[in-house]
Amino acid sequence: MRTWAHIAAGYLVLLLAGALFRVVPSALGTPCVSFVLACYLGVTAYDRLAGSVMGAVSLGYLADLLSGTPRGLLALCCGLVCVASRLASLRLLVRGRLFVFTFVFASSWVGMLLLSGVRAALVGGFLTSFLVGLRSALFSAFLAPPLFWISRRIDIAFARTEREREAIREGYLS
């Protein structure tokens, strides 16, 4: 149920972000909300990595449908970002706004590099795609704290014990 709640909240955020950035063009590029949420699902996977990857792939697929990219492109990249975030968080304690910003920037940049590589193989122009991906990863990192806050509220609602709720409130994500 936790993963489904994250997918539903992520879909609403994707809809709002898509509508907002369609009306208000940004010189920085558009943030990749699905990468931020995939990163959160990967960091908080604990022992249920398969469910988190399924949630990240579902969010990526919804982002594919909403953004008009080829079906499966963002889904694959979100799944890989989720797994990479889980592997990185095994050794790191993701706590604090600055560290969350840095971690999401690195994760989003890895995802954007994957997207840039696939786009360059299909269309060409790796350098342009790389620079747009770098700006998008930076903008995604700025949106990470509020998106992590929303995701943390969902985790608090699905926590089984008071100890789990308190740990989530304190900001322990891994």
CA angle, 48 then 54 then 60, to 5°: 135
3-state secondary structure (DSSP) of residue 47: coil
Residue 167: predicted pLDDT: 77
Provide the 8-state DSSP code for 91: T
| 106: region left, alpha or beta (phi > 0 left; psi from -120 to 50 alpha) | alpha
Q: Taking the CB of residue 66, how many other CB atoms lie within 10 A of it?
A: 17
Q: Which domain holds residue 149?
A: 2-170
- Counted domains in the chain: 1
| Residues 49 and 87: beta-carbon distance below 8 Å | no
User: What does each of the 174 residues of the chain score in pLDDT, given as a tens digit?
Assistant: 888 999 999 999 999 988 887 777 666 677 888 988 998 898 888 778 888 999 999 999 999 898 887 888 889 889 998 998 888 877 777 666 777 788 888 888 888 888 777 777 777 667 777 777 788 888 888 888 888 888 888 988 888 888 888 877 776 654
Residue 120: predicted pLDDT: 75
Question: Amino acid identity, residue 114?
Answer: L
Query: Which pTM value belongs to this model?
Result: 0.85
Whose CA is closest to 143, among 87, 88, 97? 97
Rounded Cα distance, 148 and 106, in Å: 16
Residue 94: predicted pLDDT: 64
Residue 174: predicted pLDDT: 44
